[in-house]
Structures are given as C-alpha cells and as structure tokens.
Amino acid sequence: MLLAALVLSATAVVIDDPKATVKVDSAKREVIITAGPFDVPAMDPGMKHADMEMMAGHDTPLIRFEWPVDGWLRGYSVSVEDATGKPVDRRVIHHLIGVNFDRRQLLYPAIERIFGIGRETEDMMVPASIGVPMKNGLRLGMYMAWENETGHDLNGIRIKVKLNYSPKNLNPRPVDALPLYMDVNLTVGGDNEFDVPPGRSEKGWEFTMPVDGRLLGYSGHLHDYGVGVRLEDVATGKVLGQVHATLAADGKITKITRSLPGVGGDGIRLKAGRKYRVVGSYLNPTGGVLVKGAMAHITGIFAPDDFRKWPTIDLGNESTQDDLASLNELGGHNHGDHKH
C-alpha cells in the first residue's frame, strides 16, 4: 500500500537526542526515524519478559523528536538491523511506543500514545480516507523494551520507524481521527501489568465515554497465554468488538487480529455518557500464578463527532504529571503501552 517513489527527496530534521535522526521522504510520503545504536543482552533460556525487565539494557530512554510535516498520519512500519545493516528479527522488540506531548488521551488524563507495536503486531496502514491530523512541530517521542530470545547478545543494532502520512492538500480531505486506548488495568504513570491465575481468567475495566463518535479500526495487545480482548456495552452486555490472539504450541503469542469497521462501513458507534467495558481473557496452563505476566488492551482509531469536545492537556492534573514523570524515566514500559 506504500506509494511508489519516482524521485527521492529527503531532508534531515535536527533533534535533541543524538541517538536518533529524522528524515522526510516526500516522494514516498514517509517520516523516517532511525534510532540507535543499542546493545541488547540475550535472555537466558526459560526467562520470562517480567524477569527481563530487571536486566540492564531492557528498556531505552525516551527519544524525543519533532513531527516535520503538515498532514495526516496513516500508518507505520518498524524494522531492526544490526551494525552492518543486515535485518534482525523484529520480534526482539517487546514493544515500541510513540507519544505526542501536544495532545492527551480521551479516557485518561495522560499524554497521547500515537502509535505502537508489540511483538505480535504487524505493520499498519489505513486507507487514505482516514488519518490522524498532524502539524509541523508537534513534540513527539518514542521508547522501546526488548525481548531478545536469539540466544546471543545484540550489539550496535538500530531501529527504523517509517511513519506514513497524507499531505495537507489531499483531496478529498481524510476523516479526522485520533487514537483511542482502552486498558483493563492501567494506572496513569504506573503499572498496567497484572497477575494471571492458573486456568481460565478474565480481567475487565469499565469507563464512561466522554464524547460521541465512531471507532473506525482497532487491534490490541496481549502477553503469552492471552486468548483475546473484547469491548462490551455495559447496559446490554453486547460485544461491540473483539481482538483474538494466535498462540504457538507453547502458549507464546504470535499474532493478533485487527479490524477496520470504518472502512466500507460506518464503524462502531460509541455514545457520550454511556458505559462500556474492556475485558481481557487468559488461559494459563502452567499450574502457577504468572506474576505481572499479563497485559490486555484494545487500541484503535476513533473519529469524534465534534473535535472541540476532545479534552485538552491539563499540566496541573496530578495524573498527567505522573505520566510525564514516568515518560522521563529510563524505559517506561508500563505507561499505557502498545499498538495504535
């Protein structure tokens, strides 16, 4: 779905963090962020992700940059390469999260998570009829956590993130949409991981929708042994949308579904003042409790009926301050992670 490039036109954008560069390829309509080099230690055999978090080099610091063009964000792809430029399996990234310091989330008094991937997440592109509005100079950032199961240390690797955009003069104009994040266990500025008991279990979170609008597309994130995540109407119990995981024989998650009900349809209507519930399901066959072994959330792209009703950032809000503080710490794996 990438546009063919006849001529390469790339200009560098200077940023504060020396570990990253940003370029604009106007022919392909891509903003390309290259970060590194990073040294990532190998996980010991049988080590879980929760154990990996205690190792040096697991998390990266926040890498700040500015968005360099006017238009609409409509997709992303992520790749990893070694010190010689050869490809590295992208699954060494447990998650990569992009943040926008100039907009807040809808359901939480926290900084917008504008894009992201998990190990199970495929590259994403939505039709040109949809896009996240972006202005030149927006203050963005990204951070990563690793899960290196290759059996050897990875030294000097780099990450390349390509963010696809539509130009400001696109005609017809895309439908404006913003990220919507719904987590079963999020504390803003704190932890969203939770324990998983043996056997089948579910964990849910209820919220009241602040604005009217349509959920145009969605996917989600789970850890190993995760079965799925669903969105329900609390009053009726009706399931409005579901994300399903594909698991390997050992329970490791390999893929997660995505849906685009707003492409070729009206999307999923969510109403202001109405209560909804997001529920994550797990099947733990180990016989023991998986301590901090799980996450579960749905993330999507949401078109509000009235953009003027979208909440603005309040820097005096204590939770917002907690979120900003956590983002400025080394890593940041627990601040509302994963896929947009």
- Closest to 219 in 3D by CA, of 246, 242, 203: 242
Amino acid at 183: D
Is 333 a domain residue?
A: no
Pair (27, 115) in one structural domain: yes
Instruction: Provide the CA 173 distance to its chain's centre, in angstroms.
Output: 25
Confidence class of residue 189 from pLDDT cuts 50, 70 and 90? confident
Q: CATH number of the domain that 273 lies in?
A: 2.60.120.230
Q: Give how many domains the chain has, as a whole number.
A: 2
Q: What is the pLDDT of residues 137-168, one digit of tens each?
A: 999 999 988 999 899 999 999 999 999 999 99
Is 42 a domain residue?
A: yes
Is 118 a domain residue?
A: yes
Confidence at residue 47, expressed as pLDDT on a 0 to 100 scale: 58
Domain boundary among 133, 167, 201: 167
Mean pLDDT taken over the chain: 87
Confidence at residue 17, expressed as pLDDT on a 0 to 100 scale: 42
Pair (239, 265) in one structural domain: yes
Confidence at residue 264, expressed as pLDDT on a 0 to 100 scale: 83
Domain boundary among 147, 167, 187: 167
Is 1 a domain residue?
A: no
CB 96 within 8 A of CB 117: yes
Confidence at residue 168, expressed as pLDDT on a 0 to 100 scale: 95
Confidence class of residue 58 from pLDDT cuts 50, 70 and 90? low
Query: What's this model's pTM, rounded to 2 decimal places?
Result: 0.84
Confidence at residue 16, expressed as pLDDT on a 0 to 100 scale: 38
Q: Which two tokens stand for residue 222?
A: 């789970």
278: pLDDT strictly greater than 50: yes
321: pLDDT strictly greater than 90: yes
Confidence at residue 197, expressed as pLDDT on a 0 to 100 scale: 97
57: pLDDT strictly greater than 50: no
Confidence at residue 48, expressed as pLDDT on a 0 to 100 scale: 58
Mean pLDDT, range 229-242, rounded to an integer? 98
Is 3 a domain residue?
A: no
Pair (213, 266) in one structural domain: yes
Q: Is the dihedral of CA 54, 57, 58, 63 positive or negative?
A: positive
Pairwise CA distance, residues 76 & 23, whole Å? 14
Pair (141, 183) in one structural domain: no
303: pLDDT strictly greater than 60: yes
Domain limits for position 138: 10-167
